[in-house]
Homo-oligomer: A and B are copies of this chain.
C-alpha cells in the first residue's frame, strides 16, 4: 500500500498552520460534534483528544450597523434575536428537517420528490416559503458559512440531502446539528489540531506515504493499474482517488472515464470560501462575556468563532467568508482584504479587534490542490442525472473524499467514512 500525497504535508483540507509565538491555528476543518462517529473513532485510535469549543456567554448578532448580543444557550437557541427573522427561522428549519426525513442519504436522487427538488434552486424554494422577503439575507449567511455558496448556487435537493446527511445511521440529520455549537457540528475541537490525526496516521504508515507526489495519470488494464505521479510511478491492483471531484477531473485517465463520470466532475464546483484568523494576546471578548461567535447579515465575515487553543492563549478569532462575499473579496488587494475583515471584527467585538498580533488568511481557493473549500456544492439537476456516478468505482478506480460520503458530507467525518467505504471496496476486490 502506497499513499501518493500531492502536498508537502499530509492532512488535505486540515492543516495546523503555525502562528506567532509557537502556536498554530486550524487553517481548514476544525470542529467535530455529535454523530460524527468515524472521525472520533479514528482520532481515538491515534490518541487525539477533543475539547469543547468556547461557548460561554453571549453571541453577537449584527445587521446593517446594529449590534445585539444574545445568550448562546438562550431561548431562541441558535437563532439570532431578530423579530424580523425569527418566524421564518422556525418554520423554514422545521420544513427542511421534515423534507430531510424523506431522503435516503445513499441515493438522494430516489426521493419521492427528487425531480421537483432537484429542478429548483434553494433560493427558489426559500422565496416560495419565506414570510419576510428579506429573510434571504440571513439564509445567505447560513449557506455562505456551510457551503461557501449562495442559495441560488445550490439545488434544493442537494441542500436537503446535506441536512439529511448531518446525522448517522441511527440519528436523523437536522439543520440544527449542522449549524449549532452545543449539540452540533461545532461542539468540539481536537487537542493538537485536526491535522494531528492525519499526521499520526501517516506516522503509522511510515515510508508508505510519499509527499510532493501529485498524481498526473492513472492507467488501468486487465492486469492492474499504473499511477503516474510527479517523481515516480506505482503499480497496483486497485487505486483510491481521494480528492474532490473537480480536482479528480484534472487527472488524466487511460482509458478515459465513462462520459457520465467525467461530466459529473464538471458539475461539482468547490465552494467559494475563506477562513480568516485574527490573533490577539488573549481572548479579550471572553472578559466581556462573549462567546466569540457572531451571526451577521453583512459581510465579508458573517460568522465568527473563538478559535483560541485549548491552552487559552493566544486569543484567536476565526471568521468565515463565503459565497458572493468571498468571490468579491478574492479580487481585493491584500490591504483591502485585511481592512474589510478587521472592520467586521471591530463591529462585532469592539476597537480592540482592530489590532491583532497577527492576521492570517486561509484561502484554499488559491491552493493548487484544493481550489476551493469547504466542500463541493451541487447545482440543480446533478444529483438526479449524475448521482450514480458520484462514487461508483470505474474498474480498478475507487472514489473517496468527503464529497462521496453518505453521512457528514463536507466534514472530516464524511472524509473518514468515505475512506472506510472505499477501503472496503478495495478489500473485496483483492484476493
A371: B residues at CB distance < 8 A: 259, 262-263, 266
Q: Are B124 and A327 in contact (CB under 8 A)?
A: no
Q: Are A259 and B365 in contact (CB under 8 A)?
A: yes
Q: With the chains together, A118 CA to B124 CA distance in Å?
A: 11
A385: B residues at CB distance < 8 A: 150, 153, 272, 323-324, 327
A249 contacts B by Cβ under 8 Å: yes
| Chain A residues within 8 Å of chain B by Cβ, number | 43
A331: B residues at CB distance < 8 A: 258, 260
Within the complex, what minimum Cβ distance (angstroms) separates A383 from chain B?
Answer: 11
Flag A309-339 by CB within 8 Å of B: 1 or 0 each.
Answer: 0000000000000011001001100000000
Within the complex, what minimum Cβ distance (angstroms) separates A50 from chain B?
Answer: 32
* Across the A-B interface, the 9 shortest Cβ-Cβ residue pairs: A379-B379, A259-B365, A119-B152, A266-B269, A153-B381, A119-B123, A152-B381, A259-B330, A267-B269
Q: Are A366 and B259 in contact (CB under 8 A)?
A: yes
Copies of chain A in the complex = 2
A386: B residues at CB distance < 8 A: 327
Flag A113-128 by CB within 8 Å of B: 1 or 0 each.
Answer: 0000011110110000
A363 contacts B by Cβ under 8 Å: yes
Please, could you name 28 A-B residue pairs with CB atoms under 8 Å apart, sorted by A? Answer: A119-B152, A120-B123, A120-B124, A121-B121, A121-B124, A121-B380, A121-B381, A123-B380, A149-B381, A150-B385, A152-B384, A153-B379, A153-B380, A246-B266, A249-B250, A258-B330, A259-B363, A260-B330, A260-B331, A262-B365, A262-B371, A262-B372, A263-B270, A263-B272, A263-B327, A266-B371, A324-B384, A379-B379
Q: Are A269 and B259 in contact (CB under 8 A)?
A: no
Which single residue of chain B is at the shortest CB-CB distance from A152?
B119
Q: Are A263 and B120 in contact (CB under 8 A)?
A: no
Within the complex, what minimum Cβ distance (angstroms) separates A202 from chain B?
Answer: 26
Q: Which A residues from 252 to 289 make CB contacts under 8 A with B? A: 256, 258-260, 262-263, 266-270, 272
A112 contacts B by Cβ under 8 Å: no
A263: B residues at CB distance < 8 A: 269-270, 272, 327, 365, 371-372
Q: With the chains together, A268 CA to B249 CA distance in Å?
A: 13
Which single residue of chain B is at the shortest CB-CB distance from A125?
B124
